[in-house]
Amino acid sequence: MNPSMSMETAEALRRLNPFPDPAMAAADLQQLRTTLVDHLSRYGFAYLATPISEPLFEALALQLGAVAQRNDIIIDRAQHAERQRGRRSEAPTVYQAESLGLHTDVASADLLAWYCVEQDDHDGTTLLLDSQNMSDYFTANELAMLSQIQNPYLYPKPGLGGLGVARAPVVAHGGGRYRIFFYIPWSLPTKVEPAQADLLDKLAQYVRSQQQTELIRIRLAKGEGLFIDNHRMLHGRGALPEGSKRHLIRYYIETPAGEIAS
């Protein structure tokens, strides 16, 4: 699979140009929303390869659901260090220059979206991997067992300060199939039954093997955007220089139940 599968989305954007910035007519936004939902359902991602304004991109995000969080993603050692507070050991964050392995984001986000404010001079490619074919590598019983493994994660306690611990299944059943739901390889539980540990090893092997042949690479240019299904697609990136100017705006989007049927 490659990003060209979503070029129809880019063509839809081109047909709607020029945009009456910073917002489009409601009918045009609805038309593009239909295209985005179609690509997310079919491919797990939608790549907007035509530069648009950030307010317009946010308007598109709001067409898909409620924006629960908006963050500026930059290389920033101070923010990386801040995210380590309350942790027993250092964990990767989007603010580090080192590479980020394939993972999903917070379980409550149905969709992730990135808008490119500025790209790294040399790389900054977003890496994607589709988990739709898990049933080809795992038996139904193995997938059911994986769905019983809860991946813990930390979250800020609203109004209370400090961090709380929540959990979500590594694999979940939906739309007639199993797929990765919440997979953070550096925070997987370690106190599990031997059979579960074997399955987590097999899952890591599955991700590694799929990377060899099925990895999707999208290097966003300034003004371009990307939407992905957070409960289907794994994402990551390679290493960046400490002084990288790469700046993405990330959105966590919560969609109505059953909105993205893949």
Q: What is the pLDDT of residues 80-115, one digit of tens each?
A: 888 777 677 788 899 999 999 999 999 999 999 999
What's the DSSP call for residue 117? E
User: Residue 105's pLDDT is what?
Assistant: 95
pLDDT grade for 78, boundaries at 50, 70 and 90: confident
Contact 102, 233 (CB under 8 A): no
Q: φ and ψ at 48, to 5 degrees?
A: -95, 95
- Check residues 34 and 117 and name the one with the higher pLDDT: 117
Residue 19 has pLDDT above 50, yes or no: no
Alpha carbon of residue 211 to chain centroid:
16
If phi > 0 it is left, if psi is from -120 to 50 it is alpha, else beta; for residue 40 that is: alpha
Residue 157 has pLDDT above 70, yes or no: no
Alpha carbon of residue 195 to chain centroid:
29
Q: How far apart are the first and last CA of the chain?
A: 16
User: Residue 31's pLDDT is what?
Assistant: 83
- Of the candidate CATH numbers 3.50.50.60, 3.60.130.10, 3.30.1200.10, 3.40.1800.10, the domain formed by 3-254 belongs to 3.60.130.10
The residue ranges of DSSP E strands in 93-215, in sequence order, are: 100-103, 111-118, 126-130, 150-156, 163-169, 171-174, 177-180
Query: Quick one: CA torsion of 222, 62, 110, 129, rounded to 10 degrees?
Result: -20
Residue 18 has pLDDT above 50, yes or no: no
**Closest by CA position to 259, among listed 63, 10, 103:** 63
Distance (Å, rounded) from C-alpha 29 to C-alpha 49? 16
Q: What is the pLDDT of residues 2-17, one digit of tens each?
A: 444 455 555 555 544 4
Name which of 8-17, 88-97, 203-212, 231-240 the model is least confident about: 8-17
User: Residue 144's pLDDT is what?
Assistant: 95
Distance (Å, rounded) from C-alpha 228 to C-alpha 180? 13
Mean pLDDT calculated for residue range 48-66 = 91
Mean pLDDT calculated for residue range 197-214 = 96
Which residue ranges make up each domain of the chain?
3-254
The mean of the pLDDT values for the chain is: 86
Distance (Å, rounded) from C-alpha 54 to C-alpha 51? 9
Distance (Å, rounded) from C-alpha 226 to C-alpha 203? 26
User: Residue 6's pLDDT is what?
Assistant: 54
What's the DSSP call for residue 196? H
Q: What is the pLDDT of residues 168-192, one digit of tens each?
A: 999 998 778 888 999 999 989 888 9
Q: Give me the residues paired with residue 48 across strands.
A: 225
Query: Quick one: CA torsion of 128, 131, 132, 133, rounded to 10 degrees?
Result: 120
Token pair for 15: 């047909």
Residue 217 has pLDDT above 60, yes or no: yes
